[in-house]
Amino acid sequence: MPTRADGGNEASLSASGRLGYLNALIGSKEGDKFRKFAQGLTLDNLVWLANHQLTRLHGRYLLQRKASDALELEVVDTWQADAVRDTRTLSGGESFLVSLALALALSDLVSHKTRIDSLFLDEGFGTLDSETLDAALDALDALNASGKTIGVISHVEAMKERIPVQIKV
């Protein structure tokens, strides 16, 4: 095996280089870098699942992680030449759609390890146009058909026609 002038060999140099790379990527005394790295992987998976939900719900928006190392999201508006927007600029209806997509994606993400049998939504439906409301209700119907209990608090009249079991207060 070839050796270096300092007595090491290329295999150990290669291993040392890989360890150095891993240390730079995830190493720190407190474990902060690894925690952030692992959270980033989970967030990437959540964003991927949420984008499937957003495509089904509306088709206009997609989520992506901000370019910095931060664990933050931004919105891609596919109807505006893929313009990237801060999530704080979303309207009430847009925020509701993104929140619903993230909730559904989170349910998908954890369903492999934990069974989630219910989802409760409080308001938000009043901010949706009729087409988007139908898409959101279709998504909730699909969840209900898969065995999940869906609870909705809303004052939207159109929802009364689509939700068979109601509690009126």
Instruction: Return the CATH number at 77.
Output: 3.40.50.300
How many Å separate Cα 18 from the centre of its chain? 31
Domain range holding 139?
Answer: 32-162
What are the backbone dihedrals phi and psi of residue 124, each rounded to the nearest 5 degrees, phi first?
Answer: 95, -25
Token representation of residue 31 = 């474990």
Closest CA to 128 of 167, 151, 101: 101
Q: What is the pLDDT at residue 89?
A: 93
| pLDDT of 4 strictly over 80 | no
- Banded pLDDT at 26 (limits 50, 70, 90): confident
Contact 71, 40 (CB under 8 A): yes
Q: Domain count of the chain?
A: 1
- 167 part of a folded domain: no
List strand residue ranges (DSSP E) for the chain, in order.
Answer: 61-65, 73-77, 83-86, 118-122, 149-153
- 17 part of a folded domain: no
Q: What is the pLDDT at residue 28?
A: 66
- 9 part of a folded domain: no
Of the ranges 100-104, 139-143, 161-165, which is most confident? Answer: 100-104
- 13 part of a folded domain: no
Distance CA 156, CA 140 (A): 15
Give this prediction's pTM: 0.72
Contact 50, 63 (CB under 8 A): yes
Q: What is the pLDDT at residue 61?
A: 94
- 20 part of a folded domain: no
Half-sphere exposure in the Cβ direction for 60 (13 Å, CA): 14
Contact 142, 108 (CB under 8 A): no
- Banded pLDDT at 64 (limits 50, 70, 90): very high
- Banded pLDDT at 6 (limits 50, 70, 90): low
Distance CA 128, CA 158 (A): 11
At 70-92, the pLDDT tens digits run 899 999 999 999 999 999 999 88
Token representation of residue 153 = 């608090």
Give percent of the chain above pLDDT 70.
Answer: 90
Contact 40, 48 (CB under 8 A): no
- 133 part of a folded domain: yes
- 3 part of a folded domain: no
Which amino acid, 84? V
- 21 part of a folded domain: no
| pLDDT of 5 strictly over 60 | no
* Average pLDDT over the chain, rounded to an integer: 83
Q: What is the pLDDT at residue 82?
A: 96
